[in-house]
Amino acid sequence: MTFQIGEKVVYPNQGVATIENISSRSFGAQLERFYLLRLSCSSMTVMVPFSNVTSIGLRKVARANEISRILQYFGSCDCHCTSDWKNRFKENTDKMLSGSLSQAAEVLKTLLRLQADKPLSFREKKMLERARHMLITEIAISKRIPENEALALIQRSLEKAGLALPPMVAAASA
């Protein structure tokens, strides 16, 4: 998969980034090409070798049909939650690292369902905020709408399943 300078992409577990530059570096006799990404959530830059794009999970921003599927999923009663904290946290971490928007949606919905029954651990609250941020920013970019409108779309969909997003925590991207 190739990207162009200025293109918006999704960096797993971090969210939307912009391709700022494409450069080459020599490592001994081998020349490696890199994408220089600027993460939207923190303005941090990341260099991703062309050879690692697939293994890292760097991908294009979701299209409208995938966004529609995500919003339908939020409105459904379908939700699986592992009861053991350690197993659940590992599963959710793996889903977030996959870079898949649908898996981030699963994490968000699972944690919201769990939060309705009992308080989340600190680490799960942080994961919920990260999933929330990733979904809001990607939906906003994909649909070309402001983030507050993307948030409203998610909230309306979740309400159909009897769920609600908690108020945003100030240091969500930390």
Using alpha carbons, select from 75, 16, 65 the residue that is nearest to residue 42. 16
Using alpha carbons, select from 113, 143, 148 the residue that is nearest to residue 128. 113
Residue 56: both structure tokens together: 């890292």
The predicted structure's pLDDT at residue 173: 43
The predicted structure's pLDDT at residue 60: 95
The predicted structure's pLDDT at residue 169: 60
Quick: pLDDT tens for 135-168.
999 999 999 999 999 999 999 999 999 999 987 7
pLDDT at 18 over 60: yes
With beta carbons less than 8 A apart as the criterion, state whether 87 and 95 touch.
Answer: no
Identify the H or E element spanning 124: helix 122-143
Angle in degrees, CA 92, 132, 3, rounded to 5: 85
- CA-CA distances (angstroms) from residue 38 to 47, 59, 113, 158, 165? 9, 14, 33, 30, 27
With beta carbons less than 8 A apart as the criterion, state whether 31 and 25 touch.
Answer: yes
The predicted structure's pLDDT at residue 11: 92
Quick: pLDDT tens for 94-116.
999 988 999 999 999 999 999 98
With beta carbons less than 8 A apart as the criterion, state whether 22 and 33 touch.
Answer: yes
| Domains of the chain with bracketed CATH | 8-60 (2.40.10.170), 64-159 (1.20.58.1290)
The predicted structure's pLDDT at residue 170: 53
